[in-house]
Amino acid sequence: EAMLSEARPLAGKKAIVTSGPTHEPIDPVRYIANRSSGKQGHAIAQALARLGAEVTLVSGPVTIPDPAGVRVVRVERAEEMRDAVLAELPADVAVMVAAVADWRVASAAGNKIKKRPGETPPPLQLSENPDILKTVGHHASRPKLVIGFAAETENVAENGRTKLEKKGADYILANDVSPATGIMGGDRNRVKLIGRDGSEDWPEMGKDDVATRLAALVVAKLSE
């Protein structure tokens, strides 16, 4: 029995993880998206499940397989992702890994927008999407542990800490997603873990290993 609880230290704990990009429709056949593969978020969901957590993975459109032992809720748009996440509260831990589109098209067209040669191309009017991490970080049913990512291409540490504070997170994993790093879409990641009273640089490792190490942090923090 002691062995069982050591192997499944998150038994009885509920986790919410977001992963992947969101797709924001322009019209029925076109959308705005980003280069997120979902690999890191899916790996984190799987690592938490392996330790016994009841995990709901709210995922945008990805081509990778569902992780084992996890309930997957598929969404397309940021607003759908927000609704799906809030429907899962209360929870013990939330890890927001999705590359949520920051903007949606203000009023997506109901029919395919037709090309009109020689005329000015149609403008895209954008609206800001809800910040899901910030909403959860300040929610009345806030999970005990709220973790986010910070995708940066410059000033990684400083921007990561600003996000930690603004969003009400306990930890931010900040990474440099500049194309030259190969992190966006790749299998490896190099993150800086930023906490309320300090930060540490994790060495570059596989996204699965980042997930395992983060899951160990979740075990430690939820047992405090």
**Per-residue string for binding with ligand CTP, 161-200, x by CB under 6 A?**
--x-------------------------------------
Binding status of residue 129 toward ligand CTP by CB under 6 A: yes
Select the span of 60-68, 101-109, 118-126, 165-173 touching Ca ion (CB under 5 A): 101-109
Q: Which is nearer to ligand CTP, 70 or 97 (CB)?
A: 97
Q: Which long-range contacts (CB under 8 A, 24 or more apart) does 178-182 make?
A: 178/153
Binding status of residue 94 toward ligand CTP by CB under 6 A: no
Smallest separation, CB 90 to ligand CTP (Å): 18
What span, in angstroms and rounded, lies between the C-alpha atoms of 6 and 206?
A: 24
Contact present, 98 and 21 (Cβ < 8 Å): yes
Inter-CA distances, 204 with 41, 114, 137, 165, 178, Å: 17, 46, 28, 25, 15
Q: Which is nearer to ligand CTP, 9 or 146 (CB)?
A: 146
Binding status of residue 102 toward Ca ion by CB under 5 A: yes
- Choosing among Ca ion, ligand CTP, none, which partner's interface includes residue 207 (Cβ < 5 to 8 Å by kind)? none
Contact present, 119 and 40 (Cβ < 8 Å): no
Cα 72-78-81 angle, rounded to 5 deg: 30
Distance of CA 83 to the CA centre of its chain: 14
Q: Which is nearer to ligand CTP, 5 or 153 (CB)?
A: 153
Contact present, 196 and 137 (Cβ < 8 Å): no
Is 155 in the active site? no
Smallest separation, CB 3 to Ca ion (Å): 42
Site residues (vs Ca ion, CB under 5 A)? 102
Site residues (vs ligand CTP, CB under 6 A)? 18, 78, 96-98, 100, 102, 129-133, 148-151, 163
